[in-house]
Chains A and B, each alone.
Chain A
Amino acid sequence: MAEQRNDRDLLEIKNLKKYFTTNRGVLHAVDDVSFTLRQGRTLGVVGESGCGKSTLGKTILGLLDATDGSVIFDGEDVTHLKGRAWKEKRKSMQMIFQDPMASLDPRYTVMTLIAEPLKIFGVCRSKIELEEKVRELMQTVGLDEHLANRFPHELDGGRRQRIGIARALALDPRFIVCDEPVSALDVSIQAQVLNLLQDLQVEKNLTYIFVTHNMSVVKHISDNILVMYLGCMAEMCQSKELFRKPLHPYTKGLLSAIPIPDITVKRERIIMTGELSSPINPKPGCRFASRCPYTKDICTKETPAWKEELPDHFVACHCCREINQLDK
C-alpha cells in the first residue's frame, strides 16, 4: 500500500480541540488531537460512539469551528478560514458522508447532485461542458450513464454512495474525509465501494482520512490507524502493527471484541466491564480509567502523555510499558 508517492506532509493537525456547550456542561468532543498525514496515504480513525471521530473529520474540514488548535493544510493554516477563503479551499478538501440517503437531496437528480459543486464554482463554461464533466465523473465511479436523470431513492445504497463519491471528486480535491462511507451498505456492496475508493486513491494520488467503527474495514484500507476514545487519542501506528501488537488496553479490548468469521481461530476475549464515562465536563486523568482492567492510582489523576513507545507507534497510557512488558 505504501509505494512511490509524493512524500510530503499534506495535513498537519496540532492540538485540535472541539468543545460543544450544552445545558449540562461542556462536551469535549475532540480533545487535543495531533498528527501528520502524508500525501497519498490513508489515516484510519477508529473508535466507538462518542469518541469524536466524526467531529474530528468535520472540524478538520472546517464544517465545524475548531475551539482550539490548528489545521495546517499543505503548509497553510486553514483553521479559522471564513467566507470566500474557506469556500476556495473546498476545491482541495472534500467529504464523503455516511448515510447515502440522508446526504443526497431527495429532490435532485443524479446529474444535478454531481453537478452542484461544479456549478457553485462556475467550473464549466456551458451546460454541455457541465454535463460532459458529470458523465465523466459518473464513469469514474462506475455509475451507468443512463442513471443521470434518476432520483436517489430509485437507486440502491451502493449506487447512492457512488453519487456521493462522484460529487466529492467533482472539484478534483487532494484530500477527502470519508465518514463511515460503507457502514450503511450491505456487505457485498461494501466490498465494491471499498475497492473503488482504493483505485481512486492510486489513480488520483488522493489522501484520505477514513473514519469508521469497523476494524476489519479500517485494517484493509488504511496505512496508519488512530484509535480514539472519548475525544482523546489512545493509540496510533501503522495499520498492520496495530493488529499485530496493540499496546493500549482499549485497543486490546476493542480488537478482542470483534467477532471473527473464522471458527478455527481461538482468541482470548477481553470483555471490558462498565459503561463509557461521560464526555461532558470530564474528570481529570485517563478517560478510559473507569473501564480499564489495569487502572492504577495515577490513571485517575493525571492525563496520560502521548508518547512514542515503539518506533512510529504512539500511545497515551500510564501503564503501557508494564502491561506490554516493553522494558524486558
Chain B
Amino acid sequence: MSLLEINNLEVQYVMTDETIHAVNNISFSLEKGECLGLVGETGAGKTTTALSILRLLASPPAKTVNGEILYKGQDILKLREKEMREIRGDEITMIFQDPMTSLNPVKRVGDQIAEVIMQHRHCSKTEAFRLACDMLNQVGIRDERATEFPHQFSGGMKQRVVIAMALACQPNLLLADEPTTALDVTIQAQVVEMMIALRKQYQMSMIFITHDLGLVADICDKVAIMYAGEIVEYGNLEDIYLRTSHPYTVGLFGSIPSLSKDVDRLSPIQGLPPNPAKLPTGCKFHTRCERASEKCSCDEPLFHEIEPGHFVRCHLFDQEEHDDG
C-alpha cells in the first residue's frame, strides 16, 4: 500500500463571477521514503494540490469537487476536522516559501518548536523544549539559540527553524512549497544538502514543489510536471531528463539558459499560461504547442504509459499506445 495515493482530484475556486479550475483530475502515488517533485509555473495548481492534502484550503471559495486522497489507505477528505488536526504536524507537515511569515515574531524559536511537540506528544514543557533543542541541532543551529527570536536569525537560518518545526514530530510526509525560492543560491545549497540528509535519516517521504528543474535533479526521485491543473508528464529522473516527451516539458528545458551548454538564443514557449477560469478545450496546452494538431483542440488526451513508470498526457503518443496494444 502506498503511503499517499491521490485519485482523480479536482479542486475549484468558486468566485461570484467565475470559477477557477485549479486542479483538474490528477492522480499519483507516493511510496515511503520517496521524494516527488511537483514542477510547474504560476497557476499550475501545485500549491493547491499540497494544501488539499492537508485540507488547508479556505472553503469557500475552494471546493473539492471530486477525487480522493488516501493516506495510509484512509481517505483524508472524509476525515473529521479533529482527526485531521492530529495528522497535521505529526504525520504530514508542510513548509512554505517565505520563512519570515511562517514564524511567530513574538515567540522564542525554541518555544515554537516545543509547541508543535506538545500538541502531538504527551510530554512536559521541559521535555518538549529539550526535544526542540535537539531538533535545532539536527538542522545545524546551536541549541543556545533556542531562546532567541526569529528576527535575530537570517533568512537561511529561519528556514532551518521552520524545517525543524516541521520535522519535530518525525512526520511520514513532508510537503515543501518552494522552500528555497526566497533564499540566496549559496544558502539554498546548504539548506538543500540538509534536507537531503534529514530525509535519509528519517526515511521520510517528501513532495517538493518548485519551478526549478535544477533543484529537482538534486533532490527528487520522481517528477510530475503540472500544467493548467493537470499532470502532463510523470516519471523518474531519467525519464524526465533524458527522455523528455511532453512538448511542455521540452519547452521548459528549452527556456532555461544552461550552464553546461552555450546557446545563442533561447527557445521560449510562445504565448502565455492559460486563464484557469477559461481553460482551452481539448488539450490545455494546445494553444502554445508547436506540434498541435486539430485533434488537440477538441479531444482531451489521456494519460499514456509510454514506458514502465513514465506517463505522458499528449496525443502525440496516442499512436504508440495503439501500436503496442
Say yes or no for A191: interface residue by CB 8 A criterion: yes
Instruction: Give A residues with C-beta under 8 Å from B.
Output: 48-49, 156, 158, 186-192, 194-195, 198, 213, 215-217, 219-221, 240, 243, 253-265, 269, 271-273, 275-276
CB distance from B239 to the nearest CB of A (A): 11
The complex places the Cα of A216 from the Cα of B251 at a distance, in Å, of: 17
Determine whether B186 belongs to the interface, using a CB cutoff of 8 Å to chain A.
yes
A216 near B185: Cβ-Cβ < 8 Å: no
A263 with B242, Cβ < 8 A, contacts A187-B211, A188-B251, A192-B268 known? yes
CA distance A292 to B200 in the complex (A): 28
Which residues of B, 181-209, contact A by the 8 Å Cβ criterion? 184-190, 192-193
CB neighbours of B254 from chain A (8 A)? 191
Are A156 and B272 closer than 8 Å at their CB atoms? yes
A240 to B272, Cβ gap below 8 A?
Answer: no
13 A–B contacts from the bound complex (CB under 8 Å): A186-B42, A189-B268, A189-B272, A194-B257, A216-B256, A221-B257, A254-B185, A254-B186, A259-B188, A259-B214, A262-B217, A262-B241, A271-B190
Task: Report the nearest B residue to A257, measured CB to CB.
Answer: B189
B184 to A: closest C-beta gap in Å: 4
Q: Does B269 contact A (CB under 8 A)?
A: yes
Query: In residues 148-196 of chain B, which contact A (Cβ within 8 Å)?
Result: 154-157, 184-190, 192-193
Contact A194 B252 (CB under 8 A): no
Stretch at the interface among B120-128, B258-266, B314-322: B258-266
Q: B258 and A262: CB pair below 8 A?
A: yes
Question: How many Å lie between the Cα of A276 and that of B186 in the bound state?
Answer: 10
Q: How far is the CA of A1 from the CA of B252 in the complex (A)?
A: 24
- B219 (CB) vs chain A CBs: closest residue: A259
Q: In the assembly, what is the distance between CA of A192 and CA of B252, in Å?
A: 12
Which of B193, B217, B258, B262 interacts with A271 by CB under 8 Å? B193
Number of B residues near A (Cβ < 8 Å) is: 47
A220-B266, A263-B237 known; A243+B186 contact, CB < 8 A: no
Does chain A have a CB within 8 A of B119? no
Residues of B within 8 A of A269 (CB): 189, 193
Cα distance, A190 to B258, chains bound together (Å): 13
Cα distance A188–B43 in the bound complex, in angstroms: 13
- B1 CB to nearest chain A CB (Å): 29
B155 contact set on A, CB distance < 8 A = 49
Tell me if A258 and B259 are in contact (CB < 8 A).
Answer: yes
**A263-B241 in contact (CB<8A):** yes
**Residues of B with C-beta under 8 A to A271:** 189-190, 193
Residues of B within 8 A of A220 (CB): 257, 263, 266
A-contacting residues, B55-96, CB 8 Å: none
Is B252 a contact of A188 with CB atoms below 8 Å?
A: yes
When chains A and B are docked, how far (Å) is the Cα of A186 from the Cα of B42?
Answer: 7
Assembly CA distance A48 to B185 (angstroms): 7
Q: Please state if A187 and B255 are interface contacts (CB–CB under 8 Å).
A: yes
Whether A191 lies near B185 (C-beta < 8 A) is: no
Q: Is the CB of B268 within 8 A of A260?
A: no
Query: B41 on the interface (CB 8 Å rule)?
Result: yes
Partner of B255, one of A49, A190, A257, A265: A190
**B213 contacts the other chain (Cβ, under 8 Å)?**
yes
Asked if B218 is an interface residue, CB under 8 A from chain A, the answer is: yes
Is B306 in contact with chain A by the CB < 8 A criterion?
Answer: no
